Structure 1
Amino acid sequence: MFLKASRAIIAGRWLSVVFWIILAAVLVQVAPNLQEEANTSQQESRSRSSLEAFKASELIAEKFPDVQEVMNNQVTVTLFRDSGLTTADQEYGKALEQFLSTRRDDIRLESTVSPFSDPQNGRALLSTDGKAALVELNLDMTYATDDNNEWLNQTKEVIPRIRNHLSADTAERDGAPAAPAGLDVHLTGGNAIWGDVITLQEESLNRTLVMTLVFILVVLLVIYRSPVAAIFPLISVVLALTISQGVLGIAADAGLPVSPNALVFLIIVLFGLGTDHSLLMFSRFRDNLLDGRDKLDALRSAVTNGGEAIFSSACAVIVAFGAMFFATDANFKGIGPPLAIAVAIEFLVIMTLIPAAMAILGEKVFWPFQPAKVRAKRLRQGADGRAARVGIWERIAGAVTSRPNRFIAITLIALIPFIGLLAGFRFDNNELRALLPTSTDSYQGLTVQREHYGEAAGAENAVSIIIESERPGWDDARLATLRKVGGDLDALPGVSSVTTPDRSTGPGFSADGTSVSLSAMLADDPYSQRAMDTVTEMRETLRQSLRGTDLAGSTAYVGGVTAEVRDNLATQKRDFLLIATVVLIGILLILALLLRSLVAPLYMAATIVVAYAATMGLTVATFQYGFGYSGLWIDAPVAAFVILVALGIDYSIFLMTRVKEEYRNGRQPTREAVRKALASTGSVITSCGIILAGTFTPLLFSGIKSYVEMGFAIVVGLLLDTFVIRTLLVPAIAVKVGERNWWPRRPQPVADEVTTASDEVVPVP
């Protein structure tokens, strides 16, 4: 198949170049903006969610739109002085509130509540220790579930304006009063928090693109010492990225779930994988030229043999990311399938553009390095009788294949302690802490609230309960049932208070008279396990309380921040098991088809699991024991597993396809095939591993906790896989298994004379 493909690619080399450039240009002009489509897709995925917390949010938004608008469009100015608020501080708070009221249109302000202008209703906004005060601002903004893009645009417009008015800089304040010296002023809550999160994610996206481009360019220049060979992979990947963004924009507009979080991984995965695939193709082409083949023969061989490895690699990655389609969690479902589509596009671009460049330029693609001259020099050295140097990978390959037991034992003994560290693994349930750096303005404001108003302070610990009856109307009997429900909920240890509608306050009228809402406040940190357990108890209590009453059979949901976190975590943990199972089965099938074997795929997949376990153990040690984190956010272990399996298997494929090639074409024992394969691919595998790990390194500088944890696990895992698992452990196991690697195929006959490690000296340029 790949031999025919190589001929077609060579024949149509100029057509390939023109086609991809025109397609990219057209998609840039006609395709929808992927960022906007991802925001809309996230909104639609949320509305279709089967999780109770989201159902509660949707029903409340439908039945009580005014209440939901206030709940979600409220931001809070926090004032804090460690020695206690002074009279000047309180005067500033009052003056600030009055000033903001004069800027209603600019900042979309509807109303304010504070202990300064309304001492009676705002009494609870002054901390009991007298060190902090809150000014609540109710904004008139589009609700995110109605139009996520419009909400985002308004947030980016309004929140910076309010922050400017709080600034210490006179010009930025635009006439707002200046805060007294020593008073800490922060803006937090609602739109302020999520505006910071989205801004950070966008900054991380831009930083990732720049850092990745620079890193890959430098590494390729070092590897090839050729600006031509370095620039072509980048051009190809940029085209693949551009086309992928256009295709995914169109697909998202047609209904494909796409998460905004997918955009960062789109850049990283395409640049890392595309560069690796280009590197493998260039290496095959250069090796063939050094063997004395002419340009077209060298290229046909590179596409034929390298193409099989690249195709299998792309299939493995597509299967791994595609497995996320079966997830329930909208974030996983919106990341995996889009990346699978992008990798398929990357494969097509790389497999046509890179060979086209080599077909057009020949060995000039390596300029100023010239394979023909290097080969001539080697031949002269051999003719003069001078011994050529033996490269490091020849020595490593000889050591591994001659003493496999030693390398298997040493490797596993070194990894077991890290795997044992998984016993201390914990999840961090705090979504804001995972997404928002502690240095941000909104997080510091939250810290003030929690330290001076209690761990459960603020709207985050509010629980929303909605009951929808089959018939409208709320008579005395039904209100009595509501009081009973409220009392049962209030009796739970983790509930601080419950507000139940009655005749004096109004029964909480949806407009159609079918629904009623109750509210509760949790007694614990809303992200704690105790708070999530309380939500579980509230749901069971709610259903028990309604049984046998005139509201039996009603739709009843418990929602809120804690409920959403609880439901997401539970779903993601279930999804993790499903994704892991599908990925491993898919990888085994691909490896079995590639190698025509049922034995080798088993230990190749098993070593991936071992590498993942050791990586996560080291990640736990670093963040939980080293940095004192309470645990890891759920995204880190899930993303690390999928990416390490998907991309880590690449190197096994690169190695084992070469082993199969040496074994079958050279008619030599498996031990010798492994030695030659490792000697020839070791430098390629390690170069690919360094490049791929480098593309994920920008996540470490994002400042977002979940990205940092994820990036650390992936970078460490890829380096461990590259330098230990694929280049030491897998070859050693392959040697130990011997001819049984190829079962159920019969062992092939071995040539009468086999070159051994001591007989062959491979020169190094």
Structure 2
Amino acid sequence: MGSSRKIGISQTILAKLLSIILVSSKPLLLVPWIVLLVVLVPFALNIQKDFVYSDSPFLGKEYQSVVVDYIVSQYFKLGENSSIYVIVNGTYNQSYEEIKSNLKYLQNYVLITPYEYVEQANKTYLKDVSHEVENITSSLEPLHQLYLNLSGERQLLLDNFTYFEYQLNVTYGIPTGSFHSNSADAQTFSLVYQRLLDEGYSQLNASRKAGLFVFKDPYLLLFSFSNYSNFSHAYNALSSFNNYSYLVYLLTGKLVPNEALIDPEQFAVSEVEKELPPPPISISNFHRGNQWLFIVEVPKNESLTSVEEFIQHVNGSVTGHLAIYAQSAYYTQGNLEIIDVVTVLLVGALLIALLRSLVPILLLITSAVIGVVLAYGILHIMTLFGYQVYYISGLVIPPIVFGITVDYSILFVYRYFEEIRKGAKDPLKTAFRTAGRGAIFSGISITIGFASFVISSSPLLRNIGEALIVASVSSIVPAVMFNYTALMVIPQRVLGFPRREVPNPTDTRQKYLESAARHAISKKAVVVSAMLALALFSYFIFATHPSNVDVNEIVPSYSSSVRGLGQLGSLFNYSVDYVIIKGNPNSTYGEVVALAKKVISEGGLVYSPFSIGKKVLNKSEYVEGFYSHNYTLVEVYIPYPVFSQGAINLTRELINQGYMVGGSNAQRIDIVDNTVSIYYSEVLPLTIGLITLYLFLVLGSAIVPIRLSLTLLVSSLVGVAVMDAVFHSPYWLSPLIVFALLFSLGIDYDMFIILRIVEERGEEEERIVSGVKNTGLVVTAAGLILSGAFFSLVFTNMKFLQEIGFAVGFSVLFDTFVVRPIFVPAIMAVLKKYNWWPRVRRLLSS
């Protein structure tokens, strides 16, 4: 008896000791999370260095522009470098020194001055027209030799003018009887002269021809019977003579200007220029007022960091393909910091307003920070295995992760507070079994939605999808696991600090939500009709507002690259497209000429086998250097700067006409058209299909997933339509991102409501109202926080981020306060028992 009592006392003491040990060791559960943060924070802080800004890494051989660029590079040795345009104010020497002194920031470069560019353009032109120049020059060569002989003869006559006087006397004095001589020349002259008279020549022509025959001196032809005897006049006439054109005409019958006789090659060039005008490129294209334009050629793979260093140090405007991407990288870094700070401030302010307790707010923000750090850390590790972080993916990760993590955390924490207030035996386990599992189910649905990107045929969408999956997974882990661990450690009594009790998971918002749900159910036909009308109207707005590819969407309008584009428009206003036509010049003549005429009519320049600048040639006037390996090359100078709307429009027009086009403009068009087409034809339908299938498998209902997808479509269309109305013509990627985020993130709120309705008891309409009411606080809080996270993008200086932030933020609010408490109850009230067809699983009951 005594021994058993001692054993019982010993067991009690042992249990208390174990309990004390367990309680005292709970803080150690947070150590893995601390280690995780310590390891990953350095990678997260430097993630911007891993961002990729160019579209080039996502261009594969399936893109026509890539194929063209490969042909042009391999067979024609063109397009291997990128041009950076630098515009500096000052004198030529000052501008030159300003640029030259800062070239040290570039790794590889070739500086092309205005004079060098013009000279090279002229050399290229002369090479292209060399065949025509040679033809004209060769035809003038005999006349040129005659000119050289005549000029030499004239000098000899001037040096021995007495002999020339004798020639004049014989030629014009003998026929008039004013000169007599018995010399052999005189006798021969008289015989020839008489014979010519007998043949019918006039006295003057006969004397001239006879004189030319005897003396072989063409200058005799310049005189006549009336002026030959004034030898002073004759000497002056001969010494000042320069009308070789007339003299050559008298000798050959060919009338050509003096310029052709003096310099046949230069004359040939000027004649060719009349028919084949040279490119309208002169110093005026590089100098206007106080501005000088220089071009720096760098390899296509030149470091963007180096380019940005160059931009930052040059006292002027720098633009061009690489400069735009470099500026995008530069401003992205600043925007990333703005997004992080504003997101924390907005979410923190909303949490203070919603929870009014310090510890839960710190808990939720900490879980969100862990999510962001985890996401960026995983992305960095992926880069070690070849993954490239597209900068847009990197920029939207903070609001996505912050929003999702806090949403799921609120769901979890609110349910925990609810169970505490109910007096549940183990409120944390109950919250994990219900809200925690609900968050996991919802998170999986988001991940599945993003997975549709990964299995698409677009390299860019695959890249974005992989980053979005990382974001969704990184949100679920801290939202459920970290919060569960932290709440195990944090005593319940401190959760309400500075208040004495934990925050109340119910407040006056429930009255609005209950009232809205009941009113929607009572007017369900009107509500559903209004929803359909709103969806159609939003679709009309979306369909009638075109998007754009303007560079001032991805860099601020005041940036050096955008400012430079505006200045470039009044200087060297060209960007180059390369067009490849398969076949030899004989077979491609018609296509080449049609293309040349089209571009020339738009103000551009075309260089090809049958065109030079603004002139189209005949088939016989073939220009060499544009044919290789059964490919005909056409160089098209678009009369707009690279990436400008004008350049994109004209390049797109050429592509639409069936031409294979390469170059920066064409690459931009290819990736935009391909990405947009694949998203709407493949990814979006696949997203809806996968989410519908997953929810059917989870819930057992075929109707709920379909209804959910349709209401998400309404929210997405309204968001995009509002974005179109506010921004008029949004960036091409903005609608895609809005659709993608809403169709994935928007699942949460519907799932929260549906899972709660499944738990409720009673009549169908009462269950719907109770579900909306009891989850409404979570949904509204989550909606406010997610929208606040995305509204942080509005504070950036990139227009496309402002568009995405505003559209997603507005759409989330619309979904939270209109779609879920009004549209969803109305639709479910119409469907009633068919909501759960064929059956519904009770996921969270036990």
Report the TM range for the smaller structure's normalisation.
0.7 to 0.9
Q: Which residue of 1 aligns with 2:256?
A: none
- Report deviation, 1:720: 0.4
Of residues 46, 61, 83 in structure 2, which corresponds to 1:73? 83
Q: Which residue of 1 aligns with 2:596?
A: 490
- Report deviation, 1:78: 6.4
Of 575-584 and 412-421, more deviation after overlay is shown by 412-421
Q: Aligned pair 1:152/2:304, yes or no? A: yes
Task: Return the alpha-carbon distance in structure 2 between the equivalents of residues 374 and 229 of structure 1.
Answer: 9
Q: Are the counterparts in 1 of residues 69 and 662 from structure 2 also a CA contact under 8 Å?
A: yes
Task: Return the alpha-carbon distance in structure 2 between the equivalents of residues 121 and 747 of structure 1.
Answer: 75
Q: Are the counterparts in 2 of residues 396 and 679 from structure 1 also a CA contact under 8 Å?
A: yes
Q: Which residue of 2 aligns with 1:726?
A: 820
Q: Aligned pair 1:52/2:169, yes or no? A: no
Task: Return the alpha-carbon distance in structure 2 between the equivalents of residues 12 and 587 of structure 1.
Answer: 42
Letter in 2 for 1:464: Y
Of residues 705, 712, 718 in structure 1, which corresponds to 2:799? 705
Q: Are the counterparts in 2 of residues 94 and 117 from structure 1 also a CA contact under 8 Å?
A: no
Q: How does 1:286-297 map to 2 (within 5 A)?
A: 286-294=417-425, 297=426
Give the SS at the match of 2:281: helix
Shift in CA distance, 42/351, structure 1 to aligned 2, threshold 3 Å: farther
Q: Which structure: larger Rg?
A: 2
Q: Aligned pair 1:362/2:491, yes or no? A: yes
Q: TM-score, normalised by structure 2?
A: 0.69
- Report deviation, 1:77: 0.8
Letter in 2 for 1:570: D
The C-alpha deviation readout for 1:69-108, integer Å capped at 9, x for no partner, is 54x13223166xxxxxxxxxxx624531244345554566
Shift in CA distance, 719/408, structure 1 to aligned 2, threshold 3 Å: farther
Task: Return the alpha-carbon distance in structure 2 between the equivalents of residues 224 and 152 of structure 1.
Answer: 45
Q: Which residue of 2 aligns with 1:518?
A: 634
- Report deviation, 1:412: 4.9
Q: Are the counterparts in 2 of residues 466 and 515 from structure 1 also a CA contact under 8 Å?
A: yes
Q: Which residue of 2 aligns with 1:628?
A: none
- Report deviation, 1:706: 1.9
Letter in 2 for 1:111: L
Q: Which residue of 1 aligns with 2:836?
A: 742
The C-alpha deviation readout for 1:725-765, integer Å capped at 9, x for no partner, is 012211232233323322223899xxxxxxxxxxxxxxxxx
Shift in CA distance, 399/481, structure 1 to aligned 2, threshold 3 Å: closer
Task: Return the alpha-carbon distance in structure 2 between the equivalents of residues 563 and 249 of structure 1.
Answer: 31
Task: Return the alpha-carbon distance in structure 2 between the equivalents of residues 156 and 741 of structure 1.
Answer: 57
Task: Return the alpha-carbon distance in structure 1 between the equivalents of residues 598 and 99 of structure 2.
Answer: 41
Q: Are the counterparts in 1 of residues 50 and 383 from structure 2 also a CA contact under 8 Å?
A: yes
Q: Which residue of 2 aligns with 1:531?
A: 650
Q: Which residue of 2 aligns with 1:463?
A: 577
Task: Return the alpha-carbon distance in structure 1 between the equivalents of residues 700 and 806 of structure 2.
Answer: 35
Shift in CA distance, 15/141, structure 1 to aligned 2, threshold 3 Å: farther
Q: Aligned pair 1:311/2:440, yes or no? A: yes
Letter in 2 for 1:100: I
The C-alpha deviation readout for 1:285-311, integer Å capped at 9, x for no partner, is 0011111224xx111110001022201
Of residues 336, 347, 350 in structure 2, which corresponds to 1:205? 336
- Report deviation, 1:479: 6.1
Q: Which residue of 2 aligns with 1:653?
A: 751
Q: Are the counterparts in 2 of residues 569 and 634 from structure 1 also a CA contact under 8 Å?
A: yes
Q: Are the counterparts in 1 of residues 26 and 488 from structure 2 also a CA contact under 8 Å?
A: yes
Shift in CA distance, 733/112, structure 1 to aligned 2, threshold 3 Å: same
Give the SS at the match of 2:318: strand
Q: Which residue of 1 aligns with 2:661?
A: 558
The C-alpha deviation readout for 1:125-172, integer Å capped at 9, x for no partner, is 66699966864434364422xxxxx6112112212111xx34xxxxxx
Of 52-61 and 114-123, more deviation after overlay is shown by 114-123
**Percent of pairs identical after alignment?**
20
Letter in 2 for 1:647: L
Task: Return the alpha-carbon distance in structure 2 between the equivalents of residues 209 and 672 of structure 1.
Answer: 42
Task: Return the alpha-carbon distance in structure 2 between the equivalents of residues 448 and 506 of structure 1.
Answer: 35
- Report deviation, 1:275: 0.7
Of residues 281, 296, 318 in structure 1, which corresponds to 2:412? 281
Task: Return the alpha-carbon distance in structure 1 between the equivalents of residues 358 and 369 of structure 2.
Answer: 17
Q: Which residue of 1 aligns with 2:691?
A: 587
Give the SS at the match of 2:563: helix
Give the SS at the match of 2:818: helix
- Report deviation, 1:702: 2.0
Of 98-107 and 674-683, more deviation after overlay is shown by 98-107
- Report deviation, 1:312: 1.9
Task: Return the alpha-carbon distance in structure 2 between the equivalents of residues 648 and 11 of structure 1.
Answer: 41
Shift in CA distance, 158/675, structure 1 to aligned 2, threshold 3 Å: same
Give the SS at the match of 2:645: coil
Give the SS at the match of 2:598: coil
Q: Which residue of 1 aligns with 2:708?
A: 604
Q: Which residue of 2 aligns with 1:762?
A: none
Give the SS at the match of 1:634: coil
The C-alpha deviation readout for 1:302-351, integer Å capped at 9, x for no partner, is 00010222012211211222211133433322111222123113212321
Letter in 1 for 2:394: L
Shift in CA distance, 289/661, structure 1 to aligned 2, threshold 3 Å: same
Q: Which residue of 2 aligns with 1:751?
A: none
Q: TM-score, normalised by structure 1?
A: 0.75
Tell me the C-alpha RMSD between the 2 structures. Answer: 3.8
The C-alpha deviation readout for 1:248-272, integer Å capped at 9, x for no partner, is 2222332445322211121111111
Q: Which residue of 2 aligns with 1:325?
A: 454
Shift in CA distance, 357/27, structure 1 to aligned 2, threshold 3 Å: closer
Q: Aligned pair 1:19/2:32, yes or no? A: yes
Structure 1 unaligned spans of 5+: 1-8, 80-90, 145-149, 167-185, 379-388, 470-477, 541-556, 625-630, 749-765
Q: Are the counterparts in 2 of residues 358 and 365 from structure 1 also a CA contact under 8 Å?
A: no
Letter in 2 for 1:222: A
Q: Which residue of 1 aligns with 2:428?
A: 299
Give the SS at the match of 1:429: coil
Task: Return the alpha-carbon distance in structure 2 between the equivalents of residues 118 and 562 of structure 1.
Answer: 24
Task: Return the alpha-carbon distance in structure 2 between the equivalents of residues 41 and 538 of structure 1.
Answer: 27
Of 428-437 and 204-213, more deviation after overlay is shown by 428-437
Task: Return the alpha-carbon distance in structure 1 between the equivalents of residues 701 and 103 of structure 2.
Answer: 71
Give the SS at the match of 1:588: helix
- Report deviation, 1:208: 0.5
- Report deviation, 1:212: 0.9
- Report deviation, 1:14: 5.4
Task: Return the alpha-carbon distance in structure 1 between the equivalents of residues 564 and 31 of structure 2.
Answer: 54
Q: Are the counterparts in 2 of residues 321 and 339 from structure 1 also a CA contact under 8 Å?
A: yes
Give the SS at the match of 2:497: coil
Shift in CA distance, 527/214, structure 1 to aligned 2, threshold 3 Å: same
Q: Are the counterparts in 1 of residues 111 and 297 from structure 2 also a CA contact under 8 Å?
A: no
Q: Which residue of 1 aligns with 2:777?
A: 683
Give the SS at the match of 1:76: strand
- Report deviation, 1:404: 0.8
Q: Which residue of 2 aligns with 1:170?
A: none
Task: Return the alpha-carbon distance in structure 1 between the equivalents of residues 824 and 764 of structure 2.
Answer: 13
Of residues 637, 645, 655 in structure 1, which corresponds to 2:735? 637
Task: Return the alpha-carbon distance in structure 1 between the equivalents of residues 622 and 837 of structure 2.
Answer: 80
Shift in CA distance, 258/328, structure 1 to aligned 2, threshold 3 Å: farther
Q: How does 1:225-240 map to 2 (within 5 A)?
A: 225-240=356-371
Task: Return the alpha-carbon distance in structure 2 between the equivalents of residues 409 and 606 of structure 1.
Answer: 17
Task: Return the alpha-carbon distance in structure 1 between the equivalents of residues 792 and 823 of structure 2.
Answer: 29
Of residues 137, 141, 147 in structure 1, which corresponds to 2:294? 137
Q: Are the counterparts in 2 of residues 112 and 135 from structure 1 also a CA contact under 8 Å?
A: no
Shift in CA distance, 398/694, structure 1 to aligned 2, threshold 3 Å: closer
Task: Return the alpha-carbon distance in structure 2 between the equivalents of residues 585 and 365 of structure 1.
Answer: 45
Task: Return the alpha-carbon distance in structure 2 between the equivalents of residues 569 and 576 of structure 1.
Answer: 11
Q: Are the counterparts in 1 of residues 760 and 771 from structure 2 also a CA contact under 8 Å?
A: yes
Give the SS at the match of 1:491: helix
Task: Return the alpha-carbon distance in structure 2 between the equivalents of residues 588 and 256 of structure 1.
Answer: 30
Shift in CA distance, 125/572, structure 1 to aligned 2, threshold 3 Å: farther
Q: Which residue of 2 aligns with 1:181?
A: none
Of residues 316, 320, 325 in structure 2, which corresponds to 1:194? 325
Give the SS at the match of 2:294: strand
Structure 2 unaligned spans of 5+: 1-21, 123-279, 611-620
The C-alpha deviation readout for 1:349-395, integer Å capped at 9, x for no partner, is 321110111111132352316675889xx9xxxxxxxxxx9834135
Q: Are the counterparts in 1 of residues 286 and 294 from structure 2 also a CA contact under 8 Å?
A: no
Give the SS at the match of 2:523: helix
Q: Aligned pair 1:401/2:495, yes or no? A: no
Task: Return the alpha-carbon distance in structure 2 between the equivalents of residues 509 and 642 of structure 1.
Answer: 46
